[in-house]
Structure 1
Amino acid sequence: MLDHEQILIRRGPRSGLPVILAVHSTVLGPAAGGLRLWRYPDWRDGLSDALRLSAAMTLKFAAAGLAIGGGKTVVALPHDAQPDSIARHDVLYDVAEAIDSLGGKYAVGPDVGTTPDDMAVIGEVTTHVFCKPQALGGSGDSSPHTARGTLAALRAVTRHLYGDPSLKGRRMALIGLGHVGEHLARLLAAEGADLTVTDIDPAKRSIADELGAAWQSPEDILTTDADILIPAALGGVLTPQVVPNLRCRAITGPANNQLDTAEVGDLLHQRGITWIPDYIASAGGVINAGTTELHGFTPDQALTRVNAIESTVTDLLTTATTLGITPAQAAHDLAHRHLRTAKAQHTPGA
């Protein structure tokens, strides 16, 4: 059953590419979510991605206690296309016009394949955009804040596992050194973590060398011996086939859609591996952008909300232990309590 409020699919009049805009929920407030510009075997795979990601954004904002709904935009490139080969300005104008047609129901920010500079171009057409460059009045790159929020989540998980939030000497295996992953790697190195990293781009090995981190191949790092595995690249890396071979005590990272299928969460629980849902661990970027640009918070107030992810994760772990459920179920219950409360407040006669 479709539980999204609105789905807009257009063939971009300039680019000729499928522009997919999914608004999952506006129960908490106007929706927000990133623009993903990526390659797919078929445009319908991009639609599936938009549906999953927009639903996760609803949970992300709800669990964070923000009055923002969940949405997502995907521009589906052909599977053999190179992002640098497309007419980027045309794509961004196509996206901007689609967003503007919703009249403020949804605002867009950067995601995989897009940047604050792209948001500036979209801002030439519509005001319903965030994370524009700071020079243009936006909050800029959300990656450092996403990394900071993930670090807060890792502290909470470490306290849960070892009774101490210090990351010094803890074995961390980080998958992906993109915008968020590199920021997070630098934060972890500064904390004194025993760091192993990987990326599909072998040139990123220079980052490992700079930080004094071990380098491992993408194929091997999933099953490396670690305290916490940190997915920070594209999703779907945790499959039923890989779970039996994992050698970590917990998994916490900013990558979206980490589980290949829902059953993987149960398999992890059966193995005693603590998994914190990605929409909790990765919320720092949207918390910062949403609170500063959409709600007028100061940078210090926004940072306080980002760092509060540590308390959120601690509470989820405590609830899960007390009730004998998974942290994922505890997070789901928390988000849906906020959604039910908001819906009741807006229901006539409630």
Structure 2
Amino acid sequence: MTAQTVLDADAGVFDRQAALGTTHEQVIFCQDERSGLRAIIGIHHTGLGPALGGTRFYPYRSEQAALADVLRLSEGMTYKAAAVGLPLGGGKCVIIGDPLVRKTPELLHAYGRFVDSLAGRYITAADLGTTAEDMDEVGTATRHVVGRTEQAGGSGDTGWSTAYGVFQAMRAAAAVQWGTTGLAGRTVGVEGAGKVGYHLIGLLTAAGAQVVVTDPADGALQRIRAAYDSVRVSSAVIEDPIDVYAPCALGSTLTPASANALRASVVCGAANNQLQDRTVAATLADRGVVWVPDYIANAGGLIQANGERLGKSPQDVRADIEAISTSVTDVIVQAGQTGVTTAAVADAMARQRLARAAR
């Protein structure tokens, strides 16, 4: 995994890969004039299996920003699959535009045709800005899609599975940090109350945790207030006196400054690319803060998608998600024994599996 890098606006795909330290197998630019589709698919690695990753629909400020995001996210999917032992490679798609304005069935159908043209090298699913219902539309043009609604033969939205994986990872980190798997009485700050954050808050409140939440969308906060009257709203949970910080929105919230100001003892959330750069992992470790590598904590959705692809039962998928806690414990314990960061341990574990596959 690599640091976030600022690149020259004129940098091309190969320049961006070099600057980010990535070596993608394929990057596909997709454009359909009739529907207005502008998308980029990144296939990072297929040594363990077909590249699987969600479709992010977001109003990027520029094509360069979208490209940088898809390169980072698709590489992260490679590490995520490898770290939790799935027979999958890493891929991702970003669609450029506001999903509330530009998303139409015609656009999703056009996107599905591009996915289908890759003949199974890339399997798509839902992500930020897309839903299981959207995957139903994509699925009218390709069979290489997972996370469709149950009515369409899929396993449904992966939001709950992602949240459940984060919850299991958080319990494991709590066990190492405080000697108990219980989160009862602990204060957890959840940053982002979207489809993953919402389910995570439900799991935490059921476990007896005190939850503080922040989200820029009033609608998301109103939904939380209506469902969980014990949840407190904050303008910035990362600055609050909390035990656990759970970033569940966009990445790079852990900067050198925020890592030094953080009052939590555990960081475990669903957001991708939480660290602005790898020096932040060392800062957290030096302060005694346990950081659960994001691509392990948030692997529940990928595990569900892979289970759908392989025809696994919901019970087996749930058991696979619960096994995330074992991976988290192994990473934290090994980091403590070797004196390196949890980020370094998790990266090494993933690279070892990728190297075995290459051999």
Category of TM-score, reference length = shorter chain: over 0.9
Aligned to 1:213: 231
- 2:176 pairs with 1:176: no
CA distance 1:317–1:87, shift in 2 (3 Å): closer
| 1:197–1:208 contact (8 Å) kept in structure 2 | no
Of residues 104, 107, 131, the one that matches 1:115 is 131
Query: What is the deviation of 1:281?
Result: 0.5
CA RMSD of aligned residues (A): 1.3
- 2:333 pairs with 1:313: no
Query: What is the deviation of 1:244?
Result: 1.9
Query: What is the deviation of 1:279?
Result: 0.5
| 1:150–1:284 contact (8 Å) kept in structure 2 | yes
1:161-188 CA-to-partner distances (Å, cap 9, x unmatched) read 1111001001111111100000000100
SS at match of 1:40: coil
**Structure-2-length-normalised TM-score:** 0.91
Q: Within 2, Cα distance between the matches of 1:10 and 1:95?
A: 8
Query: What is the deviation of 1:192?
Result: 0.2
SS at match of 2:349: helix
SS at match of 1:241: helix
Aligned residues: 337
SS at match of 1:303: helix
Aligned to 2:314: 299
Which residue identity lines up with residue 223 of structure 1 in the other structure? E
Aligned to 1:253: 269
Q: Within 2, Cα distance between the matches of 1:38 and 1:120?
A: 19
Aligned to 1:44: 64
Aligned to 1:143: 159
- 2:354 pairs with 1:339: yes
Which residue identity lines up with residue 112 of structure 1 in the other structure? L
Q: Within 2, Cα distance between the matches of 1:87 and 1:333?
A: 39
Of residues 290, 302, 307, the one that matches 1:286 is 302
- 2:241 pairs with 1:225: yes
When structure 1 is superposed on structure 2, of 1-10 and 63-72 the one drifting more is: 1-10
Q: Within 1, Cα distance between the matches of 2:61 and 2:334?
A: 41
Of residues 18, 33, 56, the one that matches 2:38 is 18
When structure 1 is superposed on structure 2, of 272-281 and 151-160 the one drifting more is: 272-281
| 1:173–1:197 contact (8 Å) kept in structure 2 | yes
- 2:47 pairs with 1:27: yes
Aligned to 1:327: 342
Aligned to 1:134: 150
Identity among equivalent positions (%) equals 39
- 2:122 pairs with 1:102: no
Query: What is the deviation of 1:247?
Result: 0.7
Query: What is the deviation of 1:87?
Result: 4.8
Of residues 77, 84, 87, the one that matches 1:64 is 84
Any unmatched runs of 5+ in structure 1? 345-350
Aligned to 2:11: none
| 2:46–2:88 contact (8 Å) kept in structure 1 | yes
| 2:188–2:243 contact (8 Å) kept in structure 1 | yes
When structure 1 is superposed on structure 2, of 193-202 and 26-35 the one drifting more is: 193-202
Query: What is the deviation of 1:314?
Result: 0.6
Query: What is the deviation of 1:241?
Result: 2.4
Q: Within 2, Cα distance between the matches of 1:329 and 1:72?
A: 23
